[in-house]
């Protein structure tokens, strides 16, 4: 039976989500369903990760990534122009104007402090202000009151954690069948999940998951959805590709894929200067 939002969320939880804007009471499986329905309602492709979660004012909410604003501009034929660029004291301001085919217009500003910045750092800050203006006006003219990832960058890192979902970890939808393997030899790039361990962090609402791969590597994540994918692959002994990035906390998981035809993921906001 199709796992709809109405079937997995009770009335009290729906009220909390829709009226109070708090997604923290949803389990990981319910958040995935909610995420998909938001993407469907806007005509966005959920596989491109147009939104991500963060905690703001003790509420779990969604914010829009670059992929969301790019797709919205294409879907609604939004035309953008830069109406003004100006330096006010130590702040660089960019005004972006958006126009829809029906003639409706909207404007938003993007601001970035450039105090004491020189060279490439100053140039990146100015480009960030322009990017912020374009994305904010796109969300505004499309009627979405969401934070953009350029605004999320100004929120302290310790506030950007996803609360631990109810235990046990929910099982995701069954992954696509792995490539045929007739022996213990795995296809190039694939590994098996050998062990998954949980450990608390200094943040009471966040759990660190350590994943041991058949290659001998240990990778980690605090994302419960990625942890549930790893748990599913471990229980079914499914060969997977585990994509990671190096951080000051070690190798962090960015994706777990079981289909060899999946393309490499797009760069994240941390990998681009603006």
Question: Over the chain, what is the mean pLDDT?
Answer: 79
Window from 65-69, 127-131, 199-203, 257-261 with minimum mean pLDDT: 257-261
Looking at the fold, whether 67 and 115 belong to one and the same domain comes out as: yes
Looking at the fold, whether 65 and 131 belong to one and the same domain comes out as: yes
Provide the b/e sequence for 128-140 (b: ≥16 CB within 10 Å).
bbbbbbbbbbbbb
Structural domain for 231, as ranges: 193-271
- Asked if residue 178 belongs to a domain, the reply is no
Q: Chain centroid to CA 24: how far?
A: 16
Window from 15-24, 150-159, 193-202 with minimum mean pLDDT: 150-159
Residues 141 and 98: beta-carbon distance below 8 Å = yes
For residue 218, the domain's CATH number is 2.40.50
Which pLDDT belongs to residue 249? Answer: 81
Looking at the fold, whether 137 and 205 belong to one and the same domain comes out as: no
Does the pLDDT value for residue 164 go beyond 60?
A: no
Looking at the fold, whether 142 and 53 belong to one and the same domain comes out as: yes
Confidence of residue 1 (pLDDT cuts 50, 70, 90): very low
Greater pLDDT, 223 or 157 = 223
Looking at the fold, whether 238 and 149 belong to one and the same domain comes out as: no
pLDDT mean over 85-111: 93
Looking at the fold, whether 63 and 121 belong to one and the same domain comes out as: yes
Which pLDDT belongs to residue 63? Answer: 82
pLDDT mean over 102-115: 92
3-state secondary structure of 197: strand
Which pLDDT belongs to residue 271? Answer: 42
Window from 103-107, 161-165, 228-232 with minimum mean pLDDT: 161-165
Domain boundary (163, 182, 213) is at 163
- Asked if residue 259 belongs to a domain, the reply is yes
Looking at the fold, whether 119 and 217 belong to one and the same domain comes out as: no
Instruction: Judge residue 208's burial from the number of C-beta atoms within 10 Å of its C-beta, 0-12 exposed, 13-18 middle, 19 or more buried.
Output: middle
- Asked if residue 21 belongs to a domain, the reply is no
Looking at the fold, whether 139 and 54 belong to one and the same domain comes out as: yes
Q: Chain centroid to CA 206: how far?
A: 17
Residues 169 and 224: beta-carbon distance below 8 Å = yes
Greater pLDDT, 147 or 202 = 202
Domain boundary (163, 184, 215) is at 163
Domain boundary (119, 142, 163) is at 163
In the chain, the number of structural domains is: 2
Looking at the fold, whether 144 and 51 belong to one and the same domain comes out as: yes
Helix (H) or strand (E) holding 7: helix 5-8
- Asked if residue 210 belongs to a domain, the reply is yes
Confidence of residue 177 (pLDDT cuts 50, 70, 90): low
pLDDT one-digit tens code per residue, 117-152: 999 999 999 999 999 899 889 988 888 877 766 666
For residue 141, the domain's CATH number is 3.30.390
- Asked if residue 32 belongs to a domain, the reply is no
Looking at the fold, whether 143 and 198 belong to one and the same domain comes out as: no
Confidence of residue 274 (pLDDT cuts 50, 70, 90): very low
Looking at the fold, whether 145 and 71 belong to one and the same domain comes out as: yes
Structure tokens at 109: 């500003």
- Asked if residue 156 belongs to a domain, the reply is yes
Nearest 5°: phi and psi at 143?
80, 25
- Asked if residue 2 belongs to a domain, the reply is no
Looking at the fold, whether 95 and 200 belong to one and the same domain comes out as: no
DSSP-assigned letter for residue 58 = T
pLDDT mean over 35-51: 87
- Asked if residue 73 belongs to a domain, the reply is yes
């Amino acid at each position: 039976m199709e796992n709809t939002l109405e079937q997995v969320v009770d009335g009290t939880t729906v009220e909390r989500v829709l009226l109070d804007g708090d997604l923290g009471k949803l389990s990981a499986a319910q958040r995935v369903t909610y995420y998909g329905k938001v993407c469907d309602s806007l005509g966005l492709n959920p596989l491109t990760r147009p939104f991500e979660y963060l905690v703001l004012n003790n509420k779990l909410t969604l914010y829009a990534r670059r992929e969301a604003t790019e797709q919205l501009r294409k879907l609604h034929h939004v035309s953008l122009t830069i109406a003004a660029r100006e330096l006010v004291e130590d702040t660089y301001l960019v005004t972006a104007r958006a126009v829809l085919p029906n003639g409706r217009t909207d404007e938003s500003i993007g601001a970035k402090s450039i105090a004491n910045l020189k060279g490439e750092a100053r140039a990146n800050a100015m480009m960030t202000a322009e990017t912020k203006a374009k994305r904010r006006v796109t969300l505004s003219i499309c009627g979405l009151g969401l934070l953009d990832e350029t605004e999320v960058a100004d929120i302290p890192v310790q506030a950007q954690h996803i609360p631990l979902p109810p235990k046990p970890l929910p099982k995701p939808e069954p992954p696509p069948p792995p490539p045929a393997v007739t022996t213990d030899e795995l296809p190039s790039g694939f590994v098996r999940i050998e062990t998954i361990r949980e450990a608390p962090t200094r943040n009471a609402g966040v759990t660190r998951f350590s994943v041991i791969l058949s290659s001998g590597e240990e990778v980690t994540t605090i994302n419960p959805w990625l942890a549930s994918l790893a748990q599913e692959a471990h229980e079914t002994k499914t060969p997977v590709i585990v994509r990671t990035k190096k951080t000051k906390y070690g190798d962090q998981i960015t994706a777990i894929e079981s289909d060899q035809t999946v393309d490499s993921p797009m760069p994240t906001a941390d990998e681009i200067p603006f």
